[in-house]
């Protein structure tokens, strides 16, 4: 018996013995240290009657229904305890004690597993954060669109990291310029994304609003310094994080109690700020949260900056391309001409489509349309060279096949990666004879006065720049009132469809309104064959009119 008493009293594991009524009959020193109470405050009392910082009613319920009545032991059950403001995690077990089948009571054991629980929690948080960052790699930055990228970041953050998030970018970023941009009112920010777990909430700034952040504000300081700001409670937020008094009131009304203001930094430049707020989640943000969110926002910022650079490249390429295209087509005898040029809607897709109408000294008219392979400013620049060279050679009287050969040599001189297609036609308004040649380009469409549409069978010819080749010329007669349509592949190409389907769609669009003016017909064709977001479009329509020598 002495040995059993020694084991009970000297065990490093807290032990407690109760009778059938769950009144404590004995404890050891380890148990008393865990609960922080002397023996006289415990003996003779039930768990619910002991003020030891745990849920005694819950313990009694389990011991009565499971251990005493059913004889099923409780093993390693986690339980939180708060003693003197300190939160600890305990693991407790209990089993029924009997003597010759008679129930005597319950023997319970308690261990402090706070350190173990903290390690497990830290591992879980680390795995959750790693998973979040991995998902960010596939869910943020799926397009080269600044607003879409900001919205994707907001969708990832709420509700996992925040109950509410607002993302504000330097207004100059949205224009493709370098940030930051200041005005008389301070830093000029544009709200680009907001996400909130609450379906209705008072807001001071909505998506699209321009915000003038004073240079003395925390937001401006975050942009200038590139350092995040953490407010763990409302007192730390008051008068610091809001752009205006109205915004502070809106945050307070929303129930925000903790927030982080995190800069969006890419390539050493701050593009804006993201404000993460907690309201429903009562846990305040911690420095660990700041580190996680800073990593997340830096990844999103790179995608936003990529979109900014592509926006700039798009604007540059479009400006260059438009400057190199004809600004005005003068009236030409024997033809009624209309045209459309439409750049691709996606920033990375601006290419080198071009067209031209050239009045020749002989009274004839040259019609040209072409497409440079590749995209961006290089393609637009090469397009300008081809257009200028074509016009010069045409005015010098070079025949169509020879013009194509010289254009091919020009493209070949640009390097192996350069290439272009071209369709060249010379029309004589007196004889209505049209001579056509093409270099890897799609054939023209011919709309007859009766509404029928055909695609003249022209030899394909080699693409410009891929090698020396012949460019045969085909002669055809154009009826009076017919429409010759020259176009680039962006007009007829659609994802998942072959060119034959696109050409058929173009034929139906032309045949639907054969009596329309060329300008009206351009609009009808674009509307019937669109949308065209992935490639540039050049469309040139020429209707033959009466002409005498």
Average pLDDT over residues 478-486: 95
Which pLDDT score, from 0 to 100, does residue 133 have? 73
Q: Could you tell me if 310 and 348 are in contact, meaning their C-beta atoms sit under 8 angstroms apart?
A: yes
Which pLDDT score, from 0 to 100, does residue 378 have? 77
Which pLDDT score, from 0 to 100, does residue 310 have? 76
Which pLDDT score, from 0 to 100, does residue 237 have? 66
The three state secondary structure string of 327-368 is CCCCCECCEEEEEEEECCCCHHHCCEEEEEEEECCCCCEEEE
SS3 250: helix
- Return d(Cα 430, Cα 405) in angstroms, integer: 28
Sign of the CA dihedral 56, 58, 64, 66? negative
Greater model confidence, 126 or 362: 362
The pLDDT tens digits of the residues spanning 33-75 come to 888 889 888 899 998 888 777 788 888 888 888 888 888 999 9
- Return d(Cα 249, Cα 188) in angstroms, integer: 21
SS3 520: helix
Which pLDDT score, from 0 to 100, does residue 348 have? 43
Whether the ω angle into residue 374 lies within 30 degrees of 0, i.e. cis, is no
Distance of CA 297 to the CA centre of its chain: 13
Q: Picking from 131-145, 213-227, 339-353, 432-446, which range would have the lowest pLDDT averaged per residue?
A: 339-353
pTM: 0.56
Which run of H or of E encompasses 85?
Answer: none
Domains of the chain (ranges, CATH numbers): 2-112 (3.30.450.20), 129-315 (3.30.450.40), 325-544 (3.60.40.10)
CA distances from 206 to 173, 209, 218, 533 (A): 18, 6, 20, 28
* Interacting residues of 417 by C-beta distance below 8 A, sequence separation 6+: 374
Please give the sequence-ordered ranges of beta strands (E in DSSP) within 432-533, or none if there are none: 433-439, 445-447, 453-454, 474-477, 483-487
- Return d(Cα 210, Cα 201) in angstroms, integer: 20
Q: What is the dihedral of CA 96, 100, 104, 105, to 10 degrees?
A: 0
Average pLDDT over the chain, rounded to an integer: 84
């Amino acid at each position: 018996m002495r040995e059993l008493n020694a084991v009970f009293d000297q065990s490093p594991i807290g032990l407690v013995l109760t009778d059938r009524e769950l009144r404590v009959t004995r404890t050891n020193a380890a148990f008393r240290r865990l609960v922080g109470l002397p023996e006289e405050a415990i003996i003779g009392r039930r768990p619910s009657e002991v003020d030891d910082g745990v849920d005694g009613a819950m313990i009694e319920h389990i011991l009565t229904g499971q251990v005493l009545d059913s004889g099923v032991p409780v093993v390693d059950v986690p339980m939180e305890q708060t003693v003197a403001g300190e939160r600890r995690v305990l693991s407790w077990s209990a089993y029924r004690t009997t003597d010759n089948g008679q129930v005597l009571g319950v023997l319970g054991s308690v261990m402090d597993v706070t350190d173990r629980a903290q390690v497990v929690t830290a591992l879980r948080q680390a795995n959750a954060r790693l998973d979040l960052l991995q998902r960010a790699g596939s869910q943020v930055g799926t397009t080269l669109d600044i607003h879409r990228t900001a919205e994707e970041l907001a969708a990832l953050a709420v509700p996992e990291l925040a109950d509410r998030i607002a993302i504000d970018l330097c207004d100059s970023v949205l224009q493709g310029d370098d940030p930051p941009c200041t005005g008389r009112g301070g830093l000029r920010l544009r709200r680009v994304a907001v996400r909130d777990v609450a379906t209705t909430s008072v807001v001071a700034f909505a998506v699209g609003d321009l915000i003038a952040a004073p240079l003395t504000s925390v937001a401006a300081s975050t942009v200038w310094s590139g350092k995040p700001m953490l407010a763990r409670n409302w007192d730390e937020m008051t008068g610091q994080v809001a752009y205006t008094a109205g915004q502070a009131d809106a945050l307070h009304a929303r129930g925000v109690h903790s927030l982080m203001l995190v800069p969006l930094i890419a390539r050493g430049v701050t593009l804006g700020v993201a404000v993460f707020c907690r309201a429903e989640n009562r846990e305040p943000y911690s420095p660990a949260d700041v580190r996680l969110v800073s990593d997340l926002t830096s990844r999103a910022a790179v995608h936003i900056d990529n979109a900014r650079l592509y926006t700039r490249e798009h604007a540059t390429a479009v400006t260059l391309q438009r400057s190199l295209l004809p600004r005005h087509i003068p009236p030409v005898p024997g033809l009624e001409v209309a045209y459309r040029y439409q750049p691709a809607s996606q920033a990375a897709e601006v290419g080198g489509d071009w067209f031209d109408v050239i009045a020749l000294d002989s009274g004839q008219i040259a019609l040209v349309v072409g497409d440079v392979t590749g995209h961006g400013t290089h393609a637009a620049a090469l397009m300008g060279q081809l257009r200028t060279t074509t016009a010069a050679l045409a005015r010098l009287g070079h025949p169509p096949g020879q013009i194509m050969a010289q254009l091919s040599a020009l493209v070949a001189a640009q390097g192996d990666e350069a290439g272009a297609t071209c369709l060249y036609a010379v029309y004589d308004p007196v004889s209505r004879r049209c001579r056509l040649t093409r270099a890897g380009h799609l054939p023209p469409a011919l709309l007859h006065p009766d509404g029928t549409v055909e695609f003249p069978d022209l030899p394909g010819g080699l693409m410009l720049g891929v090698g020396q080749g012949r460019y045969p010329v085909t002669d055809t007669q154009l009826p009076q009132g017919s429409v010759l349509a020259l176009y680039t592949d962006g007009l007829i190409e659609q994802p998942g469809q072959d060119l034959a389907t696109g050409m058929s769609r173009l034929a139906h669009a032309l045949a639907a309104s054969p009596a329309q003016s060329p300008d009206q017909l351009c609009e009808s064709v674009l509307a019937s064959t669109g949308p065209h977001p992935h490639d540039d479009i050049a469309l040139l329509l020429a209707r033959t009119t009466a002409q005498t020598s």
